[in-house]
Amino acid sequence: MQQPKRLSRFPVHIAVFLAPAVLLYTLFMVIPLINSLRLSFFEIENQNQLSFSGLQNYIRLFKDSNFAPFFWRALRNNFVFFAVHMLVQNPIGLLLAALLAEGGRLRNFFRTIIFMPTVLSVVIIGFIWQLILNPLWGVAESMLEAIGLGAWFGPWLGKPETALVTVALISVWQFVGIPMILFYAALIGIPDELTEAARVDGASAWDIFWRIKFPLILPTVGIVGILTFVGNFNAFDLIYTMKGANAGPDFSTDIMGTFFYRTFFGQQLQLGNPTMGATVAAMMFLIILTGVLLYMFLWARRVQTYEL
């Protein structure tokens, strides 16, 4: 009788070590998520009975005039919201990180100050900015007047054309610390020898940044991008705090999160519709999953990671 080979024995210790995390994660994340996806294939009939309806909810979401225009508008607004973050938040984050990485005595002070809004509650952020931008007693107007630009001020949060971008910029203000810290960590990880060698070779600071540092932190650029994407397509709280579940004016600030909330929980006299809400949530999940997959196959695989 031969002993079974050591290698083929089931690695019990791995299962034991993984068990707590897997268990908790399954219980509180995977099961609810699967359940939510399952719910999107059902309809609620009288007496709260669930009945299977196949893809009916998805067809409603894309065809029904009560859902389709809202869905597409929310999706479009969400892309605008995302674009503002990619075009404003991340470049500013990179710039701040580059400045901080240069050193200086007040570095720690500024790093803390800029990161601070990120740890504040969204409710506070929403409240403060509504006060600042308030056309009745906000400081924004008088500050603009002080530099002679008073005529530029408008009730930005109340106008359909400007409300979404304004809310997005407030979100940028709050979260700019996150890309900054990630870029900063990547930048200070670059060994001095590389930049010193380049300087000896006569490269300018501009060249050093774009030709040496930036390519080295490309993986971080990708991570920041995908974090922004996932965060933005799950965004809800800031808009709910500032504009309510109706995401006014005229739904101009309605994004997937608020659309989901209104559908699932209802609003004032509108009764909630859990199965359609689950359908919207499933679409949010699909969108984010698609984004993450695109990132992995089109970006993460191609970007060269250097061991420094």
Give contact residues for another protein (rule: CB under 8 A).
29-30, 32-33, 36, 47-48, 65-66, 123, 130, 133-137, 154-160, 226, 230-231, 233-234, 236-237, 240-241, 243-246, 248-251, 256-257, 260-261, 265-272, 278, 281, 284-285, 288-289, 292, 295-296, 300-301, 305
Rounded Cα distance, 220 and 305, in Å: 10
Rounded Cα distance, 209 and 215, in Å: 9
Task: Establish how many alpha carbons lie within 13 A of residue 111's alpha carbon, considering only the half-sphere containing its beta carbon.
Answer: 17
Nearer to another protein, 117 or 155 (CB): 155
Minimal distance, residue 75 CB to another protein, in Å: 14
Least Cα distance to 177 among 109, 93, 241 occurs for 93
Minimal distance, residue 27 CB to another protein, in Å: 12
Minimal distance, residue 146 CB to another protein, in Å: 18
Minimal distance, residue 80 CB to another protein, in Å: 18
Residues 6+ apart with CB under 8 A from 165: 80, 84
Nearer to another protein, 117 or 222 (CB): 222
Nearer to another protein, 207 or 250 (CB): 250
What tokens were used for 11?
């690695």
Nearer to another protein, 99 or 117 (CB): 117
Nearer to another protein, 157 or 216 (CB): 157
Minimal distance, residue 138 CB to another protein, in Å: 9
Nearer to another protein, 162 or 195 (CB): 162
Rounded Cα distance, 116 and 160, in Å: 30
Angle at the Cα of 119 from the Cα atoms of 293 and 282, rounded to 5 degrees: 30
Least Cα distance to 114 among 168, 177, 187 occurs for 177
Rounded Cα distance, 188 and 102, in Å: 9
Nearer to another protein, 137 or 206 (CB): 137
Minimal distance, residue 213 CB to another protein, in Å: 22
Minimal distance, residue 270 CB to another protein, in Å: 4
Task: Name the residue with tokens 């969108």.
Answer: 287
Contact 298, 57 (CB under 8 A): no
DSSP β-ladder status, 266-267 and 50-52: unpaired
